[in-house]
């Protein structure tokens, strides 16, 4: 999948980090974490006191055991905060990460890496006594900047770039954990990676490691090429964690997906070499989802390089995305259906500067997460992020990354 270009312009200078007050006892809902939480409270950074506006607004409808925390901005880290909120409210991912947290907290001198920092951050939110507040994810941000020079500056960055970096780094960490576990007889790979893997006696694997990232976000695409001379079909599978989709003016997500999966004719200089014909032939090429992921992440390619301008331009095209998405003929499972639960929104008219916020659906309520501010939102508000049917428009808030969870639990 094509990746969005780096965004290079700065916003505001970084704010000073706030002091981190200590919270009180743990909240409910984490049976497996109770033994690992004893030393956590000294590191919690919950700010604010009393009953919040959000708690008052939700009243008796505040979900039992849930926590809604804003994240402090450490100098244009809105790209990070918006993705983290989507991940935290992706319940399958959150639950698996907290299981991992309980495992590594019970080990001696656990290695400090991006995954442990993320797991610790999620545990801070889940175990907080307060139901709302603000956390300062300083340790996680420092780790991101240490590991990837792209995010070391205080420039405006791309949320999709960060998403790709984060999920791939988590996989690398878990694979390394598995290799370490295979060399330690008393520890199984499953205990370390929270992943399904067939371990052999000599430490080899019958199949690639399946991590919490794979279980939640991985799907399989099938590329089919049909020779128009002999009708032979050549198929090749490719895994994905998100789909990067070209956008069109005054369109819908469904129509953009259909264009993405449409049949392409290979002719002229693009002819296909058919092994059966032993020669270049005209062919039809198409993609199809062979295995749909549990959580489907769709990246709308709103930043396009314009040769005449020698730079990237933001496309404010109006693209309507549904609350319920059916894949139909685009998937081998034609009945596959998804429900929207998170939208990462890019605010701004240019790819070189701007801001990111998240719209999250949690327990039937839509909430707006804007760095350290969390507010109730309305389902109808999502329409304001579709884009504009005109080239020039005062509204620069556009849906950028969409998170859909599969209905029915089948994947």
Catalytic residues: 78, 355
Tokens of 6: 């780096």
Which are the contacts of 379, defined by CB distance < 8 A and separation ≥ 6? 323, 366
Crossing angle between the packed helical segments 78-88 and 114-127, to the nearest 10 degrees: 60
Contact 324, 330 (CB under 8 A): no
Crossing angle between the packed helical segments 114-127 and 91-105, to the nearest 10 degrees: 110
Would you state the torsion angle of the CA atoms of residues 303, 306, 312, 316, taken in this order, to the nearest 10 degrees? -40
Residue the block writes with tokens 């579709």: 386
The residues facing 403 across adjacent strands are 297, 342
Which are the contacts of 69, defined by CB distance < 8 A and separation ≥ 6? 46, 125, 128, 132, 133, 134, 135, 374
How far apart CA 49 and CA 363 sit, in angstroms, is 24
Tokens of 408: 């029915």
Nearest C-alpha neighbor of 91 from the set 65, 110, 113: 65
Judged by DSSP in three states, 403 sits in strand
């Amino acid at each position: 999948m094509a990746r969005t270009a780096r965004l290079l312009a700065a916003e505001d200078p970084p704010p000073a980090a706030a002091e981190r007050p200590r919270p009180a006892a743990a909240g409910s809902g984490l049976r497996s974490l109770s033994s690992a939480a004893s030393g956590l409270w000294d590191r919690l950074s919950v700010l604010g006191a009393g009953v919040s506006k959000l708690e008052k607004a939700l009243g008796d409808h505040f979900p039992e055991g849930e926590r809604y925390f804003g994240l402090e901005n450490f100098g244009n880290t809105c790209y990070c905060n918006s993705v983290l909120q989507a991940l935290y409210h992706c319940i399958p991912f959150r639950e698996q990460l907290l299981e991992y947290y309980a495992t590594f907290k019970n080990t001696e001198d656990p290695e400090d890496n991006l995954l442990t920092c993320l797991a610790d951050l999620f545990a801070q939110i889940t175990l907080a006594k307060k139901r709302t507040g603000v956390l300062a994810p300083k340790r996680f941000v420092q780790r991101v900047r240490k590991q990837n020079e792209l995010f070391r500056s205080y420039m405006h960055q791309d949320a999709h770039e960060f998403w790709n970096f984060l999920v791939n780094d988590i996989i690398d960490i878990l694979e390394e954990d598995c290799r370490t576990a295979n060399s330690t007889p008393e520890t199984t790979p499953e205990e370390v990676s929270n992943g399904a893997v067939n371990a052999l006696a000599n430490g080899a694997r019958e199949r690639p490691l399946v991590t919490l990232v794979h279980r939640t976000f991985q799907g399989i695409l099938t590329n089919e090429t049909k020779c128009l001379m002999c009708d032979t079909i050549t198929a090749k599978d490719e895994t994905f964690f998100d789909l990067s989709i070209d956008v069109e003016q005054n369109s819908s997500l469904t129509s953009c997906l259909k264009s993405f999966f449409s049949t392409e004719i290979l002719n002229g200089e693009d002819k296909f070499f058919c092994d059966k014909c032993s020669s270049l032939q005209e062919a039809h090429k198409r993609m199809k989802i062979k295995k749909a992921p549990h959580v489907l992440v769709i990246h709308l390619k709103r930043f396009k390089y314009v040769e005449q301008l020698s730079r990237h331009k933001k496309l404010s095209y109006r693209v309507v995305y549904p609350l319920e998405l059916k894949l139909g003929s685009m998937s081998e499972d034609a009945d596959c259906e998804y429900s929207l639960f998170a939208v990462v929104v890019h605010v701004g008219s240019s790819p070189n500067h701007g801001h990111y916020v998240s719209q999250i659906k949690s327990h039937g309520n839509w909430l707006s997460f804007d760095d350290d501010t969390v507010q109730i939102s309305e389902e109808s508000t999502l329409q304001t992020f579709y884009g504009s049917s005109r080239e020039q428009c005062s509204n620069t808030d556009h849906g950028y990354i969409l998170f859909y969870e599969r209905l029915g639990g089948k994947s």
